[in-house]
Amino acid sequence: MKKGFTVIFIILVVVLGYIVVHAITSPVKLSAAQLGAELIQSNKAGIDCFACHIIDGKGGTIGPDLSKEALLKHSIKWLEVQIQEPSKHFKPASMVKINGKTYMAIMPDHKMLSKKELFELASYLDGLR
Ligand code: HEC
């Protein structure tokens, strides 16, 4: 009987030990939106969004404030296209109304960004509300 308890105890210690070590050593997996949040704050080539856009009080006013971009209910695909090639949505240099304000459509292409980066940025914007 005593031997049975000892065996169960050892198995328990091994299993719990494995769980704890695994939790400590396995890298934290970030969501696409979290990766996008990191990317947009980075100095990578092509990441120039804050030159023209405000998010949470920080940035320029040449383009619309993106702090509540999710409320405009664009799809991820739409956001990806907008970032990569805005002229597919807005005629260049035309005046466009976004969220009640008028802007001149001068957002540049971002063709240097990878598919993964576009998805991450779009996922991040899609979560801003
Ligand atoms: C030189 C200024 C400029 C830069 C840099 C810029 N944008 Fe824009 N953005 C604009 C302007 C102006 C518009 C209005 C429509 C257009 O020009 O296509 C716009 C529109 C948008 C929209 C559409 C808003 C809506 O829902 O109608 C999104 C999303 C967006 N920008 C995201 C980004 C992201 C992400 C970046 C960085 C990778 C970025 N922009 C870089 C100026 C800029």
Give ligand 1 pocket residues (Cβ under 6 A). Answer: 47-49, 51-53, 62-64, 66, 69, 72, 74, 79, 82-83, 86, 90, 96, 98, 103, 105-108, 110, 121, 125
- DSSP secondary structure string, 63-112? S---TTGGGG---HHHHHHHHH-GGGTS-TT-EEEETTEEEE--PPP-TT
pLDDT tens digits, residue range 105-118? 999 999 999 999 99
70 pairs with which residues across the strands?
none
pLDDT for residue 17? 87
- 20-42: per-residue pLDDT in tens? 888 888 888 999 999 999 999 99
Residue 69, pLDDT score? 98
Nearest residue (CA) to ligand 1, atom 41? 49
> What are the structure tokens assigned to 101, written together?
């304000």
Quick one: 31-125 is in which CATH superfamily?
Cytochrome c-like domain (1.10.760.10)
Indicate whether 65 pLDDT > 90: yes
Decide: 63 and 107 in contact? Cβ < 8 Å: yes
Spell out the domain ranges in the chain.
31-125
Q: Which pLDDT score, from 0 to 100, does residue 28 have?
A: 85
Using pLDDT thresholds of 50, 70 and 90, give the confidence band for residue 46: very high
Asked whether 103 and 62 are in contact (CB, 8 A), the reply is yes
Alpha-carbon distance 100 to 5, whole Å?
71
Higher pLDDT, 107 or 14: 107
The answer on pLDDT for 91 being more than 80 is yes
What pTM does this model have?
0.86
Question: What letters, b where the CB count within 10 A reaches 16 and e where it falls short, cover 73-84?
Answer: ebeeeebbbbbb
> Rounded to the nearest whole angstrom, what is the distance from the C-alpha of residue 1 to the centroid of ligand 1?
71
Phi then psi dihedrals of residue 115, to 5 deg? -55, -40
pLDDT at 1 over 70: no
- Statement: residue 126 has pLDDT above 80: yes
Q: 95-98 and 101-104 as β-strands: parallel, antiparallel, unpaired?
A: antiparallel
